[in-house]
Amino acid sequence: MTSEIYIINDLDDLGKNKWNGFVEQVPDYTIYNTYGWVKALQEGEQLQGRHVIVEKDGVIIGALPCFISSIRGTPFKRLDSNRPGSGGPLLLHDKEKTLNKISRKIKSLLRGTIISHRILSINHSHLSLNKLLSEQRYYLTINNVDTVYNLTGTWKQVLGRMSKNRRREIKNADSGKVTELSIEPDNINRFNISYAKVLSRHGARPLQPGFIQEIAHQFPDKAKLFTVEENEVTIGGYLVIIDEPNNMIRAVAGGIPDIHQYSKHSNNLFRKLLEYTKEHGFSYLDVGGSPADISNGLYRFKKSFGGTDYPIYCWQTGNLVWDMLRFVSKIKPN
C-alpha cells in the first residue's frame, strides 16, 4: 500500500463527489470543509487555492485546504485557512504520519512572496494536534472566540440564559420587523452597504458580492439573508447558513453598524435569528467571532444573549523572512 501527497489549485481536479465523500467521513467536519464552501471562496472571493491532498491507493486519507492571502501592511502573502469560515487539517487514517507529511509539504510552498502558513479553526478536536503542530514549528494563539447559543429546551429556558436586561429587550422585540430576502444582486448590495459600516469599525473589508452569490448557488436551500430597515434603508442584517451535521445555523456575516443607536433593530434581528433556528429544529446558533476580551463591546453584546465561548484556534508558522518580519513589525496573529 503506497501513499502520495500532492497539491491541487482547484477542488474540481478531484471532483465534488470525491471531495465531499472524504470530508463526510472526517469526525467533527463542518459545512466550512465541504466542496461548496471551498468553491465559493475560490470563485466568489477570487482566491488562489493551494490544497494539500494525501492519498493511499487512490483513496484520500488527509487534506488541508489553503488559499493565498495578503499579509496586511506588507508586500508578502500567506497560505491561509478558509476565511470566512474555519479550516484546519482533515485527517482520516495514520493521522500522525499524515499530518507530518502535510506540514512538510506546506513548508515547501513557503518561498518567494509566500512566507507563512496560518490555520484558523473552531474545531475543538484540532487541539489534540497541538503537540504535533508545535513539533513542526507552529505556535498557537487564541485571540478570538466564537459565540454559540444553546437553543434546546423551551423558549422560557432560552430566555433564562440571557442577562436580565437582554431578556427583557428580547421579550419586547418584534421579529416581524425583520425580512428574509432572496439572495440576488440588488439585495446583496443593500446588505453589503450596511455590513461595510459594521466592518469599518474594525478596519476590515466586507465580503465580495460574488462570494455571497456563490454561497447561494452552492447552497440554494441552506443560505438565508435576513435584514432590517429604517426609512426604506437597510441598516443591518445577517447572512446565515445551515450546518446540518452540527445541528446548527451559523452566521456568515452581518450585524448592526451602531448597536446603541439601533438597539431596537438589533434586538429584533437577534430575536428573528433565535426564533428561526429554533422553529426549524436546530439546537444551536453560531453568531460568529469577537475578540476574547471582556472589555470589548462586541464580545459583551454577544455574550449578553447567553452564549457560550468557543476558542478560535490560530496556529502559525513561517520561513526565516516571516520570523524576521514578525519580530520587527509585531504582526497580529489573527
pLDDT value, residue 2: 77
| CA nearest to 149, candidates 138, 140, 162, 136 | 162
Identify which has the larger pLDDT, 298 or 205: 298
Phi first, then psi: what are they for 118, rounded to 5°?
-125, 135
pLDDT of the residue at 43: 93
Q: Which three cell numbers stand for residue 334?
A: 489573527
* Pair 222, 271 in one domain: yes
Q: Point out which residues pair with 53 in neighbouring strands.
A: 6, 63
Residue 304 maps to a domain = no
pLDDT exceeds cutoff 60 at 333: no
**CA 40, CA 81: separation in Å to the nearest integer?**
14
C-alpha span between 218 and 154 (Å, rounded):
33
Residue 306, in any domain of the structure: no
| DSSP helix, strand, coil percent of the chain (3-state; round to 5) | 40, 30, 30
Q: Residue holding cell 472524504? A: 22
Neighbours of 176 (CB within 10 A): 9
Could you tell me how far CA 41 lies from the centroid of its own chain? 11
One domain, residues 238 and 321: no
Residues 271 and 216 placed together within one structural domain of the fold: yes
Q: pLDDT digit string (tens) for 141-176?
A: 999 999 999 999 999 999 999 999 999 999 999 998
Look at the chain and count its residues: 334
Q: Are 159 and 173 in contact (CB under 8 A)?
A: no
Scan for cell 437582554, then name that residue: 166
**Position 66 in a domain:** yes
Question: What's phi and psi for 283, nearest 5 deg?
Answer: -90, -20
Q: Write out the residue range of the structural domain in which residue 168 sits.
A: 152-282
CATH (domain of 194): 3.40.630.30
Angle between helices 185-200 and 209-218 (to 10 degrees): 130
pLDDT digits (tens, 9 = 90+) for 168-197: 999 999 998 999 998 888 888 888 888 887
- Strand runs labelled E in the chain: 3-8, 48-49, 51-56, 59-64, 67-70, 77-80, 90-91, 114-121, 139-150, 178-181, 223-230, 233-243, 248-255, 284-291, 308-318
**Domain check: are 201 and 324 in the same one?**
no
Q: Are 219 and 16 in contact (CB under 8 A)?
A: no
* CB count in 10 Å sphere of residue 262: 18
Does one domain contain both 196 and 240? yes
| Separation of alpha carbons 176 and 103, rounded Å | 50
Looking at residue 122, its amino acid is: I
pLDDT digits 0-9 by tens, 275-306: 999 999 999 999 988 889 989 888 888 888 88
Contact at 8 Å (CB) between 63 and 90? yes
- Indicate if 90 and 118 belong to the same structural domain: yes
- State the pLDDT at residue 324: 87
* Domain-embedded: residue 298: no
Domain total in the chain: 2
Q: What is the pLDDT of residue 113?
A: 96
- Beta-carbon contacts of 173 under 8 Å, excluding residues fewer than 6 positions away, are 264, 267, 268, 270, 271
User: Does residue 232 surpass a pLDDT of 60?
Assistant: yes
Position 275 in a domain? yes
Are residues 169 and 132 located together in one domain of the fold? no
